[in-house]
Structure 1
Amino acid sequence: MSERPGPPPPPGAGGGAPPTPAQLGAQASAQIPLDAPTLHLTPGPGKTGLVGLPTWLWVDATPSTWGPATATAAVPGLSVTATAVVDRITWTMGDGATVVCTTPGTLYTPARGAQPSPDCGHTYTRPGVRTVTATTHWTVTWAGGGQTGTLVAARTTTVGDIRTGEMQALIS
């Protein structure tokens, strides 16, 4: 007479070794939504800025686009929590320049006029039509079970049709 098998054992019980804190850290990290940044520039796509005037750069700062964002993975007797934050954003401006910012930037308003951005901006020196790319660089730290670790990730967004022109003064 044969016996019927019972239900499978819970994770970490019998049938194999339980996951390590590092494995749970990777699992918790994978649960965090890390979205590509939503880019904002002034002037924006389809509008024309002027050579020599500041271009302001900023992104929406939400938990999934800038952090902090957390997630936890657990098995009986062990819990690991991961936290993700953006360290920096690297803007490739389409004219050979790269701008690295450690903040999400500052929202431009018309009241700011021709002032440069206080934390994230660029000034084009030649006219042209460009594509701008921004990459957020994430650091994900995890801790649990007496251990810690760090993982990295990156998310990229591209926006095109960034125009810069020259203004000619006419003297009569």
Structure 2
Amino acid sequence: MLGVGELVGGVFDSYFKEGHPYKNYNLDKQGKGQFWAATINEKRKNDPEANSCNKLPFWVEEGETPKEPLAVSPKILAEYAYDELPVPSTEIELAPEGTTKVNLPTWAWLDKAKFKKVSVTASIPGSGLSATTTAEPVSLSIDPGTEDAETYPASGECPIEGGKIGVPRAKGTPADTDPPCGVKYLRSSDGDAYNLRATVTWKISWTSTTGEGGDLPEGQFGADQRVEVEEVQSINR
């Protein structure tokens, strides 16, 4: 009686070695193609369809696209590259820093050196197949963390203009000057702090060596920052 190991080994020998459908593991075609096998993206291993591809490794001629519906395509490579995009943490610059005053605007902007277009390329070695995914910041959304606040602009959406989102407050700018991007708190945080949430929307697109390309769903990445708000102190004489 054959053991499980012998049975499996026999199936593999027949499939890859004895001509059903491959002979001697296609060694005579070395450099003219390669075997493709199923693998799971570790970042998506819990997806319902992660284990859908259960075929034995199969041969693909050099320069050809696999006919297998679940085989890696340029778009799948683009989606894989999406997962690896080095998007910076969403921490905005504020002026004044740390503590701000009730009814005085706080200016907000992004570090232009950090928030710029980024790209990642994913490829299958030896196949000539690759895809490049690019993310470009397009807007900043500000949630003050309280209803007792106003945003600039009123929508809370700061668009990208001239390659940057918002502008730093210049020295000598009057304290009550409205910023192009920012927030004004209408009530103090009473010794605590508000959690201001800044979310950057990134436009995602891709291209590939096959000429295919297009857009992927926009990415939104946000983070909270604590902002202390104090009443303006006045002195009466």
RMSD over aligned CA atoms reads 2.8
Q: Which residue of 1 aligns with 2:83?
A: 30
Contact 1:124 1:164 in 2 (8 A): no
Q: Deviations over 1:43-69 (max 9, x none)?
A: 222x3x22222110122234xx52301
Residue 105 of structure 2 corresponds to 54
- Which region of structure 1 is more displaced relative to structure 2, 22-31 or 96-105? 96-105
- Where 2:34 maps in the other structure, the secondary structure is coil
Q: Does 1:108 align with 2:172?
A: no
Return the offset for 1:161.
Answer: 4.0
2:118 to 65, 69, 82: 69
3-state SS of 1:134 partner: strand
TM-score, scaled relative to structure 2: 0.59
Task: Please identify which structure carries the higher helix content.
Answer: 2
- What are structure 1's unaligned runs of at least 5 residues? none
Q: Secondary structure at the match of 1:112?
A: coil
**Aligned with residue 140 of structure 2, among 78, 89, 95:** 89
Higher relative contact order (CA 8 A, sep 6+): 1
Q: Tell me the distance in 2 between the aligned counterparts of 1:58 and 1:143.
A: 30
User: Deviation of residue 36 (structure 1)?
Assistant: 1.8
Q: Which has the larger radius of gyration?
A: 2
Match of 1:150 in 2: 216
* Structure (1 or 2) with the greater strand fraction: 1
Please list every run of at least 4 consecutive aligned residues from structure 1 whose deviation after the TM superposition is greater than 6 angstroms.
none
Question: What 5-or-longer segments of structure 2 have no aligned partner?
Answer: 1-12, 18-23, 38-57, 61-65
Q: TM-score, normalised by structure 1?
A: 0.78
What is the one-letter code of the residue matched to 2:198? A
Percent identity, aligned pairs only, is 21
Letter in 2 for 1:112: T
Q: Secondary structure at the match of 2:172?
A: helix
Shift of 1:149: 3.0
Structure 2: how far apart are the matches of 1:81 and 1:122?
A: 37
Q: Does 1:44 align with 2:97?
A: yes
Q: Among 123, 139, 151, which residue is 2:184 paired with?
A: 123
